[in-house]
Amino acid sequence: MGAGEQKQEAGSRNQGGEEQGAGEQGRRGEMEDELAGVPTLEEIERHPMDHLLRTERLPHIWCPGCGLGTALSCFTSALMRSGLDLDKVAIVSGIGCTGRVAGYLRLDGFHTTHGRAIPFATGLKLANGDLKVVVFSGDGDLIAIGGNHFIHAARRNMDLTVICVNNFNYGMTGGQMGPTTPTGARTSTSPQGNLEHPFNVPNLAAAAGATYVARWTVLHARRLEKAMHKALLKPGFSVVEVISPCPTLYGRFNRRQYGSDMIEYYHQKAVIRRDAQPWEVDIDLGGEIICGEFVNIERPTFQDRMREKFGELHPSDELGLLHRPPVELESHGTGEGFRVQVPGLGLTRAAARPTAVGGQLRAPISHAKCLESAAGSLEVLLCGFGGQGIILSGKIAGAGAALYDEREVTLTQSYGPESRGGACSTALIISNDPILYPHVTRPCVMAAMSQESYTTYHGHLAEGGVLLIDSDLVEPDPAGSQQVIPIPATRIAEHELGRRIVANIVMLGALTALTEVVSEAGMRKAILERVPKGTEELNMKAFQMGFDYGRGLVGSGRDTDQED
């Protein structure tokens, strides 16, 4: 083909291309017409309730199979349908797994102290009568520790909506028996079966004066949502009891260890009885769960009576609480925060700016100074988040020191509201002499396995103390004066042993190698005694890996902030 022909050929192709382009454009236009109204991929990935959730706090901390996600989902749907002004809805939670709800909702939310959600909510409502105040909490929080507040708020007919998630035990703190545990049910504190008679929540609420009372299981999602919707719009003290699975604890103790087992149980045993009287709806172990709406009455609320007596009151306006200028946020000198990847989880966590930490280690860390300053006893604090085995680590270290090293030991632990997703700790005093005061005040040795626990506790470390951190989960404070030794405990557990769950034992291994707070032999015996049967080999491997890592730091004299 000659050059002229080639040019002509190219020209016709161009022309064809333009024609094709026009055709292409036309087809695209047609497709766009067809797709009008079809959600985009981004829109599909966005959950319709996303605007109601603090998605930056997700994934949530609840266990697989837990019913709390369904309860929350029903609530968000009910709230949307209610037409309430979301700027005037406040959500108050107490402590427990359910207590986390307040933190996940993009509403004005308050996560209060144990059992005190109702008095807190009462204060909110009295200060600002325009608010719709919802209490969303668990059976332990509302009916045991907060039981008194529950009945008195019902008696007063405070204008509050209470969503009480009943999973028959204290889930967050380890599955202890609660006020709603059915007679005969096993829990961690009633291994032979509960001897007590449980509260019947609808009956308690009705007898105390609630204006609306309903009960549904999470299996009845549509009915549950409707009940929540009604409760939200009902003046006075409205209560919805949500029967919800806790497969991890209550279910496991009672031979229903999967969420699906419990849902199956609800399927078989839940009975809808709209004519049932509240006193007829007790829940017996293995018996029927009567569901329905049991109370829907009118009576003056506490606010109605106040208005009648004193006219319209706006205490928050009078105190100038509602229109205060916004608080200026202060910078704390770390400059812009940054985010650190948490390997394996695909998560990022907010963290302080990193700094050079650590030093050359050439021998196991001496704690002689701490021993001197603490009158012959050594204080140790292990911390992390719930589920990392922090409490077990403390028990192992304590047993190693007390039973095998023959030292005096005390052990205290903090595994409270903060434990799931927050900071929990176990603290030991190890001494050659009798210990007169059991509480740890200035630990010389600390191991922190989560950022939040580090933030909570590192300020307690004695000057010159030694701080081991899980290097993938904790970024130390650049201004901290402590010697910080990063240990990739979670990474070792996950990558070398395939089980993240033994990261605590890896950390114990490193702690033993580096600090010798407990002898190696003592720690090994204690681990074998205390880890669940069948996991001894895995745990001993984890200990060995942590120990070798610690000894490697000692032997090599590596700069400990360059661990990887």
At residue 230, the 3 state secondary structure works out as: helix
- The partner residues of 98 in beta bridges, in order of sequence, read none
Nearer to ligand SF4, 171 or 394 (CB): 171
CA distances from 194 to 175, 182, 183, 285 (A): 13, 7, 5, 10
The DSSP string of 105-143 is: BSSEEEE-STT-HHHHHHHHHHH-TTSEEEEEEEHIIII
Distance CA 533, CA 287 (A): 33
Smallest distance, Å, CB 256 to ligand SF4? 11
Q: What are phi and psi of 133, to 5 degrees?
A: -110, 125
Smallest distance, Å, CB 27 to ligand SF4? 51
Cα angle for residues 540, 545, 551 (degrees, 5° grid) = 120
Nearer to ligand SF4, 68 or 378 (CB): 68
Nearer to ligand SF4, 248 or 490 (CB): 248
Interface of this chain with ligand SF4, residues 147 to 176, rule: CB under 6 A: 167, 171-172
Smallest distance, Å, CB 177 to ligand SF4? 14
Determine if residue 375 is left, alpha or beta; phi over 0 gives left, psi from -120 to 50 gives alpha, anything else beta: left
Nearer to ligand SF4, 167 or 187 (CB): 167
Smallest distance, Å, CB 246 to ligand SF4? 3
Of 25-33, 58-66, 227-235, 278-286, the window that binds ligand SF4 (rule: CB under 6 A) is 58-66
Smallest distance, Å, CB 245 to ligand SF4? 7
Smallest distance, Å, CB 180 to ligand SF4? 13
Nearer to ligand SF4, 75 or 543 (CB): 75
Distance CA 151, CA 137 (A): 15
Instruction: For residue 58, count other CB atoms closer than 10 A to its CB.
Output: 12
Nearer to ligand SF4, 63 or 508 (CB): 63
Interface of this chain with ligand SF4, residues 168 to 227, rule: CB under 6 A: 171-172
Smallest distance, Å, CB 146 to ligand SF4? 17
Smallest distance, Å, CB 223 to ligand SF4? 21
Interface of this chain with ligand SF4, residues 2 to 41, rule: CB under 6 A: none
Interface of this chain with ligand SF4, residues 237 to 256, rule: CB under 6 A: 246-249
Nearer to ligand SF4, 258 or 404 (CB): 258
Interface of this chain with ligand SF4, residues 62 to 101, rule: CB under 6 A: 62-63, 66, 68, 97
Q: What are phi and psi of 558, to 5 degrees?
A: -65, 150
Of 24-32, 61-69, 81-89, 484-492, the window that binds ligand SF4 (rule: CB under 6 A) is 61-69
Q: How many residues bind ligand SF4 (CB under 6 A)?
A: 12
454 DSSP assignment? H
**With contact defined as beta carbons under 8 Å apart, do 181 and 263 qualify?**
no
Smallest distance, Å, CB 134 to ligand SF4? 19
Whether the CA torsion 453, 459, 461, 465 is positive or negative: it is positive
Distance CA 222, CA 212 (A): 18
Residues in contact with ligand SF4, shown as a per-residue x/- string from 491 to 520 under the rule CB under 6 A: ------------------------------
Nearer to ligand SF4, 72 or 474 (CB): 72
366 DSSP assignment? P
Of residues 270, 260, 559, 517, the one with CA closest to residue 407: 517
Instruction: For residue 23, count other CB atoms closer than 10 A to its CB.
Output: 10
Residue labelled with tokens 């829109």? 43
Tokens of 202: 């609808």
- The residue ranges that bind ligand SF4 (CB under 6 A) are 62-63, 66, 68, 97, 167, 171-172, 246-249
